Amino acid sequence: MLWRSVSAVLAGLLLFGSFPPRPWWFLAPLGIAVLTLTVRGTGRLRAGFGYGFLAGLAFFVPLLPWTGIYVGPLPWLALSAVCAVYIGLFGLVTRLVGALPGWPLWVASAWVTAEWVRSSFPFGGFPWGRLAFGQADGWFLALAAIGGAPLVSFAVALTGTGAAAVLLLVRSTLRTRSSAARRSANPRLGFATAAVALAIMPIAGLALGSALPDPDHGDRTITVAAIQGSVPRLGLDFNAQRRAVLDNHVRRTIELARAVEAGQAKRPDVVIWPENSSDIDPLRNTDAAALITQASAQIGAPILVGAVLVNSDRTTTNSVIVWNGAAGPGERHDKKIIQPFGEYLPMRSFFRLFSEYADRAGYFVPGHGDGVVRADGIDIGVATCYEVAFDRAFEDAMRAGAQLLTVPTNNATFGDSEMTYQQLAMSRIRAVEHGRALVVAATSGVSAIIGADGTVRQESPQFVPAALVADLPLRTSNTLATHVGPAPERVFVAMTVAAMAVVMVRKRSSRAAKKTDRLVQSADIPG
């Protein structure tokens, strides 16, 4: 028990170490290998859950401290514990299906299934910490163009379970002493199967890397600017400084306009501001509208403005509005996947009993639509901040013909934390998944220009005003991942369910056979 507990903690720490800003993506399959060796066995299912839960704590507690920077440790630790439950369920399922032929495959699919459940339930799910999101610099990245984030997670998991199978076969072979036992064990087939599981996914990822689209080629090229105005100070009192934040983004846009007039920068076709760049509702406030109109007119291009809009019932929407000079507001994207415990508070009367910060959660409501806004004939797919973690965020936008993707975000409310780099890695996965250039515009950093191959072409420092300007291709062709949508994830979930069903049937048949044997034996006893 002691050694398994230690190895469970080690597995969780290895998984944590694979995530940005650390470049050690290769620790993820190693962590899965250690976790598989820890939870797989013939003991009680609850032991598998317990070791998995322990690994989950070691993984999520250091991964998510940004969630408690300004609200104290209770929400951070509670969220980490809830996320660890899903790793515990993975441990339970691994102990259940780990004896099936070809078990590395079923265990890897169980990992993806656990990620799917965590990304869906409760309160819409929390996908942070999916294996795929630590692989933006790794060999597995190109697989996102085939099957999205689920395939990348599966590839990492299968590599880890394949490594675990190889180690178990080596140990079994070394322990088998007699040649007859070796022959009866017939390890060659097992070695071959495990070796394939270990090698096929990273090799496939490397091979597919050369097939990713050229980041400079497309149907046509436009010039895009991302504005990072920065904020006077970090923290949850972001709304108290909303006029200063708007002024910062107007000022930095006008500075870019002057650089364009001086021939020092290329005039953009579209400008992207971050989420919350105007927390003053410009549809209700004439001063805010005038400032945005001035900035758009001087730069000579439409601006995608991240704004908080107040609805007639006093709820709010987190929106991105196309603002085109004197023509004013045009199309908009209202954030569809809103953040529980931040933008809104589920079960408010209950959760306010546990934290004095509960009532600081907003009253945002989700929007609708396909996630595409059109600016001067350019179809731009938008996933605002938290949305980028969800596979479904860009699916509607891609079906609606998005030629370019953007992730406007406000990281000022999470301080100087690893969160911004983790979110940047998610954006890189999405760029490869859909074969589109992607622009990240952040209030305080990191803003970035990302190519369709996942490379970061430009990146701003944190906490300083910046303007990133780049020529980016527009595309209408789609990747296989875009075409198949959620199908790969559904296949992995179906595989897991099928494997569990086989185990249940086998157990029932075994119990029935034992019962029959006992009845036969009792009938043979002389009366």
Instruction: Check whether 305 has a pLDDT greater than 80.
Output: yes
Tell me which residue of 234, 232, 226, 238 sits closest to 276, measured CA to CA: 238
Instruction: Check whether 236 has a pLDDT greater than 60.
Output: no
How much is the average pLDDT of 316-324?
97
pLDDT at 356 (0 to 100): 62
Q: Which of 39-48, 398-407, 490-499 is least confident?
A: 39-48
pLDDT at 354 (0 to 100): 64
* Residue 478: alpha-carbon gap to chain centroid: 21
> Is 83 one of the annotated active-site residues of the chain?
no
- The two three-digit tokens of residue 434, written as one number: 């859909």
Helix, strand, coil tally for the chain in percent (to 5): 55, 15, 30
Distance CA 25, CA 2 (A): 28
How much is the average pLDDT of 83-109?
95
Specify the residue for token string 């630590």: 134
pLDDT at 417 (0 to 100): 82
Q: Which of 126-135, 233-242, 302-311 is least confident?
A: 233-242
pLDDT tens digit sequence for 445-457: 899 999 999 999 9
pLDDT tier at 332, thresholds 50, 70, 90: very high
How much is the average pLDDT of 50-64?
97
Instruction: Check whether 336 has a pLDDT greater than 90.
Output: yes
pLDDT at 213 (0 to 100): 81
Distance CA 86, CA 109 (A): 14
Query: Do residues 442 and 409 lie in contact, with contact meaning Cβ atoms separated by under 8 Å?
Result: yes
Instruction: Check whether 525 has a pLDDT greater than 70.
Output: no
Instruction: Check whether 180 has a pLDDT greater than 50.
Output: no
How much is the average pLDDT of 484-509?
94
Q: Which of 126-135, 314-323, 340-349, 468-477 is least confident?
A: 340-349
What beta strand segments (E) does 44-120 contain?
none
> Is pLDDT larger for residue 348 or for residue 200?
200
Q: Which H or E element spans position 471?
A: strand 466-474
How much is the average pLDDT of 331-360?
78
Domain annotation for the chain: domains and CATH numbers: 2-211+486-512 (no CATH), 220-480 (3.60.110.10)
pLDDT at 181 (0 to 100): 47
pLDDT at 185 (0 to 100): 47
> Is pLDDT larger for residue 387 or for residue 414?
387
pLDDT tier at 416, thresholds 50, 70, 90: confident
Phi-psi label, residue 72: left if phi above 0, alpha if psi -120 to 50, beta otherwise: left
Instruction: Check whether 408 has a pLDDT greater than 80.
Output: yes
Helices within 144-271 (DSSP H only): 144-175, 179-185, 187-209, 242-261
Tell me which residue of 362, 315, 309, 312 sits closest to 333, measured CA to CA: 309
pLDDT at 355 (0 to 100): 63
pLDDT at 517 (0 to 100): 63
> Is 261 one of the annotated active-site residues of the chain?
no
- Catalytic pick from 115, 275, 395, 489? 275
How much is the average pLDDT of 182-186?
48
Distance CA 321, CA 143 (A): 33
Q: Which H or E element spans position 35?
A: helix 27-39
Helix axes 73-97, 27-39, angle to 10 degrees: 60
Please report the sign of the dihedral spanned by the C-alpha atoms of residue 280, residue 286, residue 287, residue 288: positive
pLDDT tier at 237, thresholds 50, 70, 90: low
Distance CA 414, CA 409 (A): 11
Query: Do residues 291 and 280 lie in contact, with contact meaning Cβ atoms separated by under 8 Å?
Result: no
Radius of gyration of the chain (CA): 26
> Is pLDDT larger for residue 403 or for residue 357?
403
Distance CA 264, CA 476 (A): 31
Answer yes or no: pTM beyond 0.85.
yes
Mean pLDDT of the chain: 90
Q: What are phi and psi of 117, to 5 degrees?
A: -65, -45
Q: Which of 35-44, 387-396, 518-527 is least confident?
A: 518-527
> Is pLDDT larger for residue 200 or for residue 185?
200
Tell me which residue of 232, 231, 251 sits closest to 294, measured CA to CA: 251
Q: Which of 89-93, 207-211, 227-231 is least confident?
A: 207-211
Specify the residue for token string 């953040």: 339
Query: Do residues 253 and 299 lie in contact, with contact meaning Cβ atoms separated by under 8 Å?
Result: yes
Distance CA 188, CA 195 (A): 10
Instruction: Tell whether omega for the bond before 62 is within 30 degrees of 0, i.e. cis.
Output: no
Q: What are phi and psi of 100, to 5 degrees?
A: -70, 150
Say whether 373 sits in a helix, a strand or coil. Answer: strand
The one-letter amino acid code at 246 reads L
Instruction: Check whether 384 has a pLDDT greater than 60.
Output: yes
CA 374 vs CA 70, 268, 408: distances in Å: 37, 15, 16
Q: Which of 66-75, 195-204, 318-327, 355-364 is least confident?
A: 355-364
- Catalytic pick from 335, 336, 395, 433? 335
Distance CA 189, CA 73 (A): 50
Q: Which of 177-181, 294-298, 357-361 is least confident?
A: 177-181
- Catalytic pick from 343, 385, 387, 433? 385
Instruction: Check whether 428 has a pLDDT greater than 50.
Output: yes
Query: Do residues 250 and 512 lie in contact, with contact meaning Cβ atoms separated by under 8 Å?
Result: no
| Beta strands 378-382 and 372-375, pairing class | antiparallel
pLDDT tier at 216, thresholds 50, 70, 90: confident
Distance CA 97, CA 502 (A): 9
> Is 275 one of the annotated active-site residues of the chain?
yes
pLDDT at 184 (0 to 100): 44
